[in-house]
Structure 1
Amino acid sequence: MKVLNLRCSHQHSFEGWFASEDDFQSQLARGLVACPLCADPAIQKMPSAPRLNFGATGEEGAQPASSRELSVLDAAPASSPAHEEPAAGSPAGQAAFLKALRHVVANTEDVGARFADEARAMHYGDAEQRNIRGKASPREAVELLEEGIDVMPLPLPAAVKETLQ
């Protein structure tokens, strides 16, 4: 198994696991490798240092850096004064962004192309208030905002709907 550090043209860093270097090159050539954050297929392999395990780690209970980074997000509640938001471009920031988007997907109803109509119906009391997401043209979004209906763009990369490994 080969674990590679990868980066897209938007500077999002992520790991990819491949059977071999040839497997990575084959998947890359076929367009099967894309950024999990923005779905950009322009991927480059970044330098990485191998992790060599010679037995003792030198630190009692030491963990790989990726485990420490992920646990920082869960270590303190958001209301804790010691809690610091991860930098947006960092791997921890990207993980937090994907986690937040997954939360939105899990807690909203996808109304698809009916978004503008559903938002209006809820705003004017013709439909039950609920959390929705869907698709609207830029013109429809501007019209909704002009009517006093709060909407915001929501980038939903494919990775949000999948289990990230």
Structure 2
Amino acid sequence: MIHYALKCKEGHSFESWFQSAAAYDALSGAGHVACVECGSTQVSKAVMAPRVAAARPHADGARAAPRAAEPDRQGTAQADGPLRGKPDARQKALAALRRQVEANSDYVGGDFAREARAMHLGTAPERPIYGEANLAEAKALVEEGIPVAPLPFLPNRKAN
């Protein structure tokens, strides 16, 4: 997984995780990376400093290893900071999107590509679905003209 700081053409900054640099390039090139505030798909990588935690001293004077990032409620790792406190507007919007998707769609897990293709071909009834697909499966769906979009959160079934 790779974490990128992103910026849209309107100057809005946001962050997202991707399976790899190639996954970001493929999703961005297909217009599937969009600004969380305005929806613009004209998004580029922004300059980003690495997250490095300082070691904490033990009572005996020895240095402890840095504390690892902890998973937040959406199942993504977040270091201590402003996002760990009171939710901001973006976090509230993401939580609302999650509730909307989970309440109005069927979770199909790893069968997402097969289910989406079957609905597209008319061999399965159309319905809103969400699930998981690897980069090759998602790319094949897009190339076949099947409308798909990545979700900015992990399904609850996958969250820690």
Query: Normalised by the size of structure 2, how large is the TM-score?
Result: 0.48
Whose radius of gyration is greater, 1 or 2?
1
TM-score by length of 1: 0.47
